[in-house]
Amino acid sequence: MSNLSLKLREYLNTHFVINAVEIHELQVSSDRTIKCAMRLHDGYVVESVLIPQGERMTACISSQVGCSLTCKFCATGKLKRMRNLNADEIVDQVKLVRDTAMERYGQPLSNIVYMGMGEPLLNYAEVVRSIEMISSPDGLGMSPRRITVSTAGVAKMIKKLADDNLRVNLALSLHAANDEKRNSIMPINETNTLENLADALNYFVDKTGVRPTFEYIAFKEFNDSIKDAMELVAFCKQVKSKVNIIEYNAIDDGEFQQTTKERLKAFTDTLEKNGVICNVRRSRGKDIDAACGQLANKNKLASQQLK
C-alpha cells in the first residue's frame, strides 16, 4: 500500500498480521459437490465442502484441525485434534467456498453448516464470534436462520448456545437412542448421557423456540431395527424435534456398513407411523470422500500433518 506513509507501513508490519486461509486443492464430484482442502497459515489443512442442490448452495465448514471425540464411524475422529480454528479462519473458509460457488455455478451461498472437521461446541468462543461476523451487516450479512451448528452432544454448551440466543439452528449427531449403544460408538455420551442431552435440548427449545434436528446415520444391523426406531421415537417424544436419516459413508476401516433399502424403509415407516417428522438425506460427494463422516479420509497432506 504505497499510498500509506513508510512509518505507518512499518507500524502495521510490526503490530499486525493477516493469516489468510488459501485453497490448497479442489475436487469436484460427479454430483457437482466440491471439496476444498484449505491450507492454514501454519501448514495444517482442513476441509470444507460446497453442496449444490437446486436453489440451495450450502457450505459445510470446519471448526477444528482434527477432532478429539473419536466417534467410531467418522474419519475425522481418527485424527488428533491439533488446534482450534480462529474465527477469522472459519470466516475465510466461508468466503472461499462462497467465491467458489459463484465462480463454478454462478450462485451465492444460501446456507452454512458447521458440520465439517471438529466439534464446534468445543471451540465455542471462536465459533460464536465467526457466526457474529458471518451474520453481521458489516460482515457477510447472512441470516442466522440459514446457519446450522452441529454437535456430537456437549450438554452444558448447548445451554450456553441457548443463553447467547444467536438464533441459529441446532443439529445433534444422535445415531443411537439408548446410552449403551451410543456409548459404544460415541464416547462423548459417557459424560453427556441422553438424559442430560434431552434436558439441555429442552432448555434450548424453551429459550429460542428453535426445534433441533437429530442426525441419525443408519448402520446395517447396528441401529436400524424396529426396536432402534422405537427407541428413537421415545427420545423424540421427550424433545420437540425432527430427524434426518443419513446414509452411512464408508471409511477405510470397514467396521460399519450402510443399511439396506428394505431395513431403511421399515425404520422410517415406524418413525412416521409414530408421529416423528423425518427425512432421508442422500449423501453428496461420496466419490471424492466429501460426504458426511469422510472428511480427511484420503487427504494425504492433512493425514500426514495430523499424525
Q: Which residues are catalytic?
A: 47, 292
Beta bridge partners of 45: 39
Place of cell 477469522: 88
Beta bridge partners of 264: none
Q: What SS3 state is found at 295? A: coil
C-alpha–C-alpha distance, residues 259 and 266, integer Å: 11
C-alpha–C-alpha distance, residues 151 and 168, integer Å: 13
Q: Phi then psi for 81, rounded to 5 degrees?
A: -85, 115
C-alpha–C-alpha distance, residues 282 and 19, integer Å: 36
Residues 264, 267, 271, CA angle at the centre, nearest 5°? 135
Instruction: Please check whether residue 279 is in contact with residue 245, taking contact to mean a CB–CB distance below 8 angstroms.
Output: yes
Q: How far is CA 176 from CA 75, 144, 219, 232, 255, in A?
A: 19, 28, 10, 7, 16
